[in-house]
Structure 1
Amino acid sequence: MDMNCGSCEDGDIAEKDPTGRYVRYDEILGKGAFKTVYKAFDEVDGIEVAWNQAYIEDVVQSPEQLERLYSEAHLLKSLKHENIIRFYNSWVDDKNKTINMITELFTSGNLRQ
């Protein structure tokens, strides 16, 4: 695999997005009630990003909820503000039954601070 990340090795890669732009590592940055956030890398821009992953069955109970999720993802992608985390991309992985979102990576602090 062709990697731009000098500190990353092929063996560390857990999965790639459908376009091949983003690679996810096994390193968990955080875990909540519905999703897990992993360290990831944007091979096009050469930056670290956050790969947010949730199992569809944990967050979507109906086709209407899935449609609402798509609408919210589209809205988040259009928001640009210094106090709102940047949202880069999202997709549904039908094979693994997951919803995946790529966002800006914050490496320090938390919401309680």
Structure 2
Amino acid sequence: MLDDDFDALYDEDWAVLCTRSRPGEDDQSFRGILAVLDVDAFEGHVVAGQHQLQYPTAWADLAEGDTLQTVRTVDGEPVEDPKAWRVLAQPRRVVDGAESIVYLAPDPTA
């Protein structure tokens, strides 16, 4: 039942296609919801956008330092250029561990 719920929530209407790359391992593809959150810094003097990706924990194995490519699709076909990201820290589990959130930064080397 839970996988069916995730399939509906993480379909291409809401989610992007993600491909994780890690040296020495096969690439891993899954869907995730990409967002930008406002984060206060310097005791509230600065507000900056922080990119995050939320995904079902069982669908992907992400770790700090991984590279990630995201692309929005319609009917399984890309509709924009892929974006490259670097995973900034270990994922944080939410919703009783069923989902995870990871912080991302654009990866200029990809």
TM-score (norm 2): 0.40
Higher relative contact order (CA 8 A, sep 6+): 2
TM-score (norm 1): 0.39
Query: Of Structure 1 and Structure 2, which has the larger fraction of its residues in helix?
Result: 1
Query: Of Structure 1 and Structure 2, which has the larger fraction of its residues in strand?
Result: 2
